[in-house]
């Protein structure tokens, strides 16, 4: 079973579908092109293969992610304006690391730092 992301004209992921291996095999080897041809025949559109374990295209595609052809990676939406893209993982990094003191925090964009969540 392989997974494919359908892309809009701006390379934003619209949906993700799985394709049975029987539709992917070409001379006994899995072929991304064969999977894409199968999906185009069913639904039309543009498709890219994605994988749960990040073996291809850095991250598993989700609805709203963007496919970056230069990086050949799926990139999630930027969670906050102050976060920067990590070129190695193609995920977003906060300006400061998440605290490791065992408390719960949420990101406070107005202070560009982690803010402790009150517990009762």
Tens digits of residue pLDDT in 14-30: 999 999 998 998 888 88
> In angstroms, rounded to a whole number, what is the distance separating the alpha carbons of residues 39 and 75?
22
Q: At CA 39, angle to CA 60 and CA 90, rounded to 5?
A: 20
Q: What is the pLDDT of residue 25?
A: 87
Q: What is the pLDDT of residues 35-65, one digit of tens each?
A: 999 999 999 999 999 999 888 999 999 999 9
Q: What is the pLDDT of residue 42?
A: 96
| Ranges of each domain in the chain | 1-77, 78-120
pTM recorded for the entire structure: 0.90
Counting beta carbons within 10 angstroms of the beta carbon of residue 51, is it exposed (0 to 12), middle (13 to 18) or buried (19 or more)?
middle
């Amino acid at each position: 079973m392989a997974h494919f992301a359908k892309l809009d004209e701006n390379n934003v992921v619209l949906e993700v579908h799985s394709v049975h291996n029987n539709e992917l095999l070409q001379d006994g080897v899995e072929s991304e092109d064969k999977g894409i041809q199968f999906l185009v025949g069913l639904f039309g559109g543009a498709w890219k293969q994605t994988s749960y374990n990040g073996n291809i295209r850095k991250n598993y595609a989700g609805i709203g992610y963007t496919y970056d052809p230069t990086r050949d990676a799926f990139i999630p939406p930027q969670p906050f304006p102050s976060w920067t893209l990590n070129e190695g993982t193609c995920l977003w990094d906060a300006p400061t690391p998440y605290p490791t003191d065992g408390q719960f925090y949420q990101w406070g964009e107005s202070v560009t730092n982690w803010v402790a969540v009150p517990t009762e």
